[in-house]
């Protein structure tokens, strides 16, 4: 992780130079990027408003840091794909499901909160699993391209050019809900039985998008859920299963096994798509470093959530999620946000803060976490991200 630490030490310099660089960009020709759009597939880790467009209900304090109001993101500010868009000089991605105010000229976000890779076997209103699984997101992508190809290009439009699909970046950050959704009930061994199906579906989706013209794919791996406050509070474990950083060893080991499986599957997919870039992105390593050494990256709290109820070691209570008011032990309580989310890795026990997402995005853009190596700086002049 020395590369992340050395890169993180440059962040302060970037911040200082940010204003000057932006001024220079404004005075000169806009920097170029080979990626004219981003098409994102995922869950709440990269949802920019899709779920709440379908089921309007999000309330404060979500969005408090950057947007100053709820904007459909499960964090206090931006998600990783927001930072990638900023770095490529693209606007934030509009959700596919958002009917008002969307602009799809530079990509689409198909991700929704609570999405899984596998088709859900139950209802959102029973277990909270999103109906927009990866297969549905793929169908939405196919329908979107069909409409772009079909509709006439006259006057002002919020749709991209039909030739954009081969000039785009396709990002995947999904699988966490497949892994954690039944973890408490089935245990690690029970969940591991269907993980091969998860990685197989991700690989087959890449092949389907390749057939649509996609050529560059980034697949972000699974985060170290054994360090997440929500799972530390919820999942059964013994004190002997806690490492020196306060994370659950057995669950993190299971995540590593899944990530190795995903990496191997992508290697096989890469062989079959010789003219495509199929890149495994090790965001797990970045987040693990943040949870283990938050103070090395300008943060203070690793395994304690900013927004929650109960305080204690994790500040998380599964009976009342961030921003909600519920009756607990006969008393109405509210899960409130801390005053300094910039000091936390975890926003609400399950999702990362704007600050943690920013560090993750910097690490990705640095290029040290790609497998195989991907020459990003040959594709794009990276813009400063604020």
Give catalytic residue positions. Answer: 44, 348, 351
Query: In 88-181, which ranges are continuous DSSP H helix?
Result: 124-127, 134-150, 176-180
| H or E stretch covering 169 | strand 168-173
CA distances to 100, 189, 237, 285, 308 from 45, in Å: 22, 25, 25, 16, 18
Tokens representing residue 140 in the block: 């939405």
Residue 359 and residue 290 in contact, taking contact as beta carbons nearer than 8 Å: yes
Residue partners of 168: CB distance under 8 A and separation at least 6: 35, 36, 37, 38, 39, 107, 214, 216
CA distances to 39, 176, 214, 382 from 169, in Å: 6, 21, 8, 14
CA distance 384 to 286: 20
End-to-end CA distance of the chain: 24
Residue partners of 314: CB distance under 8 A and separation at least 6: 229, 230, 232, 233, 303, 304, 305, 308, 349
DSSP per-residue letters across 297-347? GT--EEEEESSBSS-TTT---TTS-TT-EEEETTEEEE-BPPS-GGGEEES
């Amino acid at each position: 992780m020395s590369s992340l630490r050395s890169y993180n030490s440059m962040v302060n310099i970037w911040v200082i130079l940010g204003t000057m660089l932006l001024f220079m960009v404004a005075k000169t020709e806009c920097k170029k990027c080979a990626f004219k759009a981003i098409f994102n597939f995922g869950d709440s880790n990269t949802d920019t408003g899709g779920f709440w467009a379908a089921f309007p209900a999000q309330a404060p304090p979500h969005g408090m840091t950057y947007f100053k109001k709820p904007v459909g993101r499960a964090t206090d500010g931006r998600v990783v794909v927001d930072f990638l868009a900023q770095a490529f000089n693209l606007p934030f991605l509009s959700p596919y499901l958002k009917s008002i105010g969307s602009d799809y000229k530079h990509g689409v976000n198909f991700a929704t909160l609570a999405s899984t890779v596998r088709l859900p076997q139950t209802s959102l209103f029973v277990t909270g699993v999103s109906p927009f699984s990866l297969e549905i997101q793929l169908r939405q992508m196919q329908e979107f391209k069909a409409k772009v190809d079909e509709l006439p290009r006259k006057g002002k439009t919020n749709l991209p050019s039909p030739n954009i699909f081969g000039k785009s970046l396709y990002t995947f950050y999904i699988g966490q809900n497949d892994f954690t959704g039944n973890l408490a009930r089935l245990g690690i061994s029970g969940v591991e039985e269907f993980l091969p199906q998860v990685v197989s579906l991700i690989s087959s989706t890449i092949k389907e998008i390749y057939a649509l013209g996609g050529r560059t794919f980034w697949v972000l791996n699974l985060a170290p859920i054994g360090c997440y406050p929500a799972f530390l509070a919820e999942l059964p474990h013994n004190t002997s299963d806690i490492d020196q950083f306060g994370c659950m060893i057995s669950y993190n080991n299971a995540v590593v096994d899944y990530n190795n499986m995903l990496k191997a599957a992508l290697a096989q997919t890469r062989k079959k798509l010789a003219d495509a870039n199929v890149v495994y992105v090790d965001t797990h390593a970045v987040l693990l470093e943040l949870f283990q050494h938050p103070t090395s990256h300008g943060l203070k709290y690793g395994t304690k959530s900013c927004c929650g109820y109960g305080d204690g070691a994790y500040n998380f209570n599964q009976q009342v999620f961030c921003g909600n008011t519920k009756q607990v032990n006969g008393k109405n309580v509210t899960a409130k946000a801390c005053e300094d989310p910039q000091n936390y890795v975890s926003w609400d026990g399950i999702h990362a803060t704007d600050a943690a997402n920013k560090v993750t995005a910097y690490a990705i853009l640095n290029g040290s976490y790609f497998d195989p190596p991907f020459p990003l700086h040959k594709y794009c002049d990276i813009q400063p991200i604020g």
